[in-house]
């Protein structure tokens, strides 16, 4: 099965222009608590705007732009970390990868480092694994997210123990290499005036 999804990326205006015109892969070298290195995308425009507000506040002298990309990729390329069974499987690789490396310190502390190490290990020794991936989908918890027009609390904004609808979980996509990340149909979104 082929997935075809719209995703959104935010960066400086110049970098977005290069991404669109020259098909430059805008790789993050993230090795911490997110999805590892690669190019990050949000699942919707509101989440892109959320990230824009954070970037604009942190770097007020820079001009930012967004891009909407219609991404297409094969189902077998997706590592879906919104699936708890898949997430548990990946967490089970910490010791295995540690035995193949000289140190496990980084992969025991940072999930992004674990994903980076797993990706490299699959590239080097694919015969040891029953899967591969180049696209990762995960969920981020943003506890400070507020919803307008929610005075009656129809959407529970508190972190509670019972299941409920929330806007505090945001879906993030990471493309590990440019085979998928630069090939989709792109549309620039000027958000610097918002």
Three-state DSSP class for residue 115: helix
Domain contains 101: no
Q: Are 62 and 52 within 8 A, CB to CB?
A: no
Domain contains 8: yes
Q: What's the total number of domains in the chain?
A: 1
| Res 152: pLDDT | 65
* Average confidence (pLDDT) over 102-114: 78
| Res 103: pLDDT | 61
| Res 193: pLDDT | 47
| C-alpha to C-alpha distance for 43 and 13, rounded to whole angstroms | 20
Assign residue 182 a region: left if phi > 0, alpha if psi is -120 to 50, beta otherwise? alpha
Q: Binning pLDDT at 50, 70 and 90, where does residue 194 land? A: very low
| Res 105: pLDDT | 62
Which domain, by its residues, includes 182? 2-86+131-189
Write out pLDDT tens, residues 47-76: 999 899 999 999 999 999 999 999 999 999
Strands (E), the chain: 2-12, 39-42, 64-74, 78-80, 135-141, 169-175, 185-189
* Average confidence (pLDDT) over 112-128: 92
Identity of the highest mean pLDDT range in 76-85, 138-147, 175-184: 76-85
- Indicate the average pLDDT of the chain: 86
Q: Look up the pTM and report it.
A: 0.87
* The residue to which tokens 């480092």 are assigned: 113
Domain contains 95: no
Domain contains 28: yes
| Res 141: pLDDT | 80
| C-alpha to C-alpha distance for 36 and 175, rounded to whole angstroms | 10
* Average confidence (pLDDT) over 78-86: 95
Domain contains 104: no
Phi, psi of 121 (to 5 degrees): -65, -40
Domain contains 109: no
Write out pLDDT tens, residues 130-165: 999 999 999 988 777 766 676 666 666 676 677 877
Domain contains 115: no
């Amino acid at each position: 099965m082929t997935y075809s999804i719209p995703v959104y990326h935010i960066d400086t205006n110049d970098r977005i222009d290069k991404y669109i015109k020259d098909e430059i892969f805008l790789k993050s070298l993230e090795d911490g608590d997110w999805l590892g290195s690669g190019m990050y995308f949000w699942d919707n425009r509101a989440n892109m705007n959320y990230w824009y507000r954070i970037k604009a506040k942190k770097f007020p002298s820079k001009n930012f732009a967004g891009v909407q990309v219609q991404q297409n990729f094969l189902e077998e390329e997706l590592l879906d970390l919104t699936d708890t069974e898949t997430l548990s499987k990946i967490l089970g690789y910490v010791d295995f990868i540690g035995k193949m490396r000289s140190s496990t310190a980084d992969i025991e502390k940072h999930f992004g480092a674990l994903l980076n190490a797993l990706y490299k290990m699959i590239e080097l020794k694919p015969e040891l694994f029953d899967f591969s991936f180049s696209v990762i989908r995960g969920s981020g918890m943003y506890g400070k997210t507020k919803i307008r027009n929610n005075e009656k609390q129809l959407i529970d904004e508190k972190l509670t123990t019972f299941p409920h609808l929330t806007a505090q979980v945001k879906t993030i996509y990471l493309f590990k290499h440019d085979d998928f990340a630069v090939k989709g149909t792109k549309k620039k979104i000027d958000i610097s005036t918002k």
